[in-house]
Structure formats: structure tokens, C-alpha cells
Structure 1
Amino acid sequence: MLNLIKLVVGVTSVEELSERQKQATNCRNHSEYGALPVVHTRSFPRRSEEILEGGSLYRVIAGLIQCRQRVLDIQTDTRSDGTQGTLFLLSPEIIRVEPRALRPFQGWRYLDSKDAPPDLTGSMLTNLPPHLQKELTLLGL
């Protein structure tokens, strides 16, 4: 199984990401799953079959990997300017992960499962503001 990782631009928290994904402009109907949140990107992943075997899209918010969502489908799409693009159709469930600092990058990257941060379960970190999560992570706590 293979994952993807991508920055979330203009969002400062997981809660804000969740609210943004509920907007109609950020959803698409899927014949099997109904309305799903989508992420637009330019290039189609060559290893899409591996991603669709249970992979997730990990999200970097405020300099930290903070959450993930399962990738349910990957589709080509025609953008508003007529160029080809790609849509990642995601599970509506946002799963928080152990925060990990990451420098900015463009586009998306592959993320092997062995390198992905573990899911958070019952941790106090989920209730901390992003700036405190980042400070604690940078301190190695």
C-alpha cells in the first residue's frame, strides 16, 4: 500500500480543513460513495493502483503532518482553463496522526507506509492549538 502527502494551503487547523471540505465546491458525487471531498492537482500518479489499495492522503497543515484521509478514487478532470487535471476523491473521515514537522514542497509526494506517522488515539495532542503541537514536535516531545 502506498500513500500520498500534500500541503494544505490557506488552512490553519484540521477543523478548518473539515469545514472547507463540506463546501459544495470542494465535493464531487461518486456513484459508489455519494458526495466526497476532493483535492485538485495537476498530475496523475503513475502508481495510482498502489494508492487505491487502501492508501491515504496525508495533509501538512501549518508545517506539520496532522491528519490523513483514505483515497477512495483518483480521476482525471478537465480544469476551468481547459487543461487536464486530477481529482483525489477522499473519505469524509479525517484521521489525526502523530504530528511531524515537514518543510514546504510543491505538489504531492509518495509516502511509503513505513514512513507515515501513526494515527493518534486518545492523545492530548489532538486538543492542542497547531502552534503548540508544532513546538512540542520540534522539541521532540
Structure 2
Amino acid sequence: MTLHLIKLCVGIETPDDLRALQHGRRMAVGDALVHTTRMMPRRASEVLTDGALYWVMKGAIRCRQTILDLEAVTDPETGRSACRIHLDPAVVDTEAWPWRPFQGWRYLAAEQAPPDRRTVPGADGDDVAAMPDEMRDALREMGLL
């Protein structure tokens, strides 16, 4: 069974901002893309089975990245145990699903995860993907999407 992680992306407003930040870090540090957090998931085997890290930005889940590995490490500054989440560099936009703030990370069941956002209108004439984010969010709040 696949299990995902969800985490707040503090100070980042859009998936494009996240892409730019991570690209800059990779250029400065090297190809490895990791995010360090304090706690190691106890259900790591489920997370490593096609799991992803879903990012919450501006009160909604807006994108995800595939988790490649979870590594237990010791924080050199504090001496505390930590977890490095190795991420695929590809940031995949998802439908914006409202999510309340929380601390740390949380598990996210596969059935609770938002679908990937379509980047082009479908062959059936669906233009939802072409709408601006604000319009799509407003229509979703009204229950029309």
C-alpha cells in the first residue's frame, strides 16, 4: 500500500517558486535533492512504495515530488537524529486542495491525495486546466468543480 507524506512549504507561494529554489540549491550543492526533517517515518517501507511528498503552499496542496529514499542522519549542529528525504527533481503540479497549517510532516493516504493537474485541455473539451489558479480555486469553493 502506498503512503505519501505532506509538508508545509513555508515562504514558497507557487510550484514554480519551489522549482526555482530547488534548482538554485542543486546548482550550488550538487545533483542530490534532499529535504531534511526531524522525524524519520516509522512507516518508511510504505512511503518508499511509490510515495510522494505533497507540498502545501498558501493554504492548499499544490504540487508533489516522488520520494526516492529516506535516510536516517544526525544533525551536525544539534546532534539530534533527523531524516533526509531524497526527492526526484521533477515537481508535478496537482489540483489545489485546501489544507490547514500543521507542524512537521504528516502521512497522507493515497486516496486522500489530490490528482495531478492536467497541463493541457483534454480531448473532451475540458478547459479546467487552462483556467487561472484563482478562478479554479473560486469555482472549487463554490462547489462547481
Structure 1 residue 120: Cα displacement? 1.1
Matches of 1:132 and 1:86 in 2, distance apart? 38
Which of 37, 44, 47 in structure 2 is aligned with 1:48? Answer: 44
1:58 aligns to 2:64 (yes or no) = no
Structure 2 counterpart of 1:9: 10
Structure 1 residue 28: Cα displacement? 6.8
Note closer, same or farther for the CA distance 1:26–1:12 as it changes in structure 2 (3 Å cut).
farther
**Alignment gaps of 5+ in structure 2:** 121-128
1:71 aligns to 2:44 (yes or no) = no
Deviations 1:74-130 (A, max 9, x none): 1122222222211111000111111100110001111111111111112125xx35x
Matches of 1:27 and 1:37 in 2, distance apart? 11
RMSD: 2.2
Aligned pairs for 1:85-96 within 5 A: 85-96=82-93
Runs of 4+ in 1 over 4 A off after TM superposition: 25-29, 131-134
Matches of 1:26 and 1:89 in 2, distance apart? 16
Aligned length: 133
Contact between 2:95 and 2:117, CA under 8 Å: does it hold in 1?
Answer: yes
Structure 1 residue 27: Cα displacement? 8.2
Matches of 2:108 and 2:49 in 1, distance apart? 14
Structure 1 residue 133: Cα displacement? 5.1
TM-score by length of 1: 0.83
TM-score by length of 2: 0.81
Structure 1 residue 49: Cα displacement? 0.7
Equivalent position amino acid for 2:47 in 1: I
- In terms of fraction of residues, the more strand-rich structure is 1
Note closer, same or farther for the CA distance 1:137–1:39 as it changes in structure 2 (3 Å cut).
farther
Note closer, same or farther for the CA distance 1:10–1:26 as it changes in structure 2 (3 Å cut).
farther
More divergent stretch after superposition (68-77 vs 35-44): 35-44
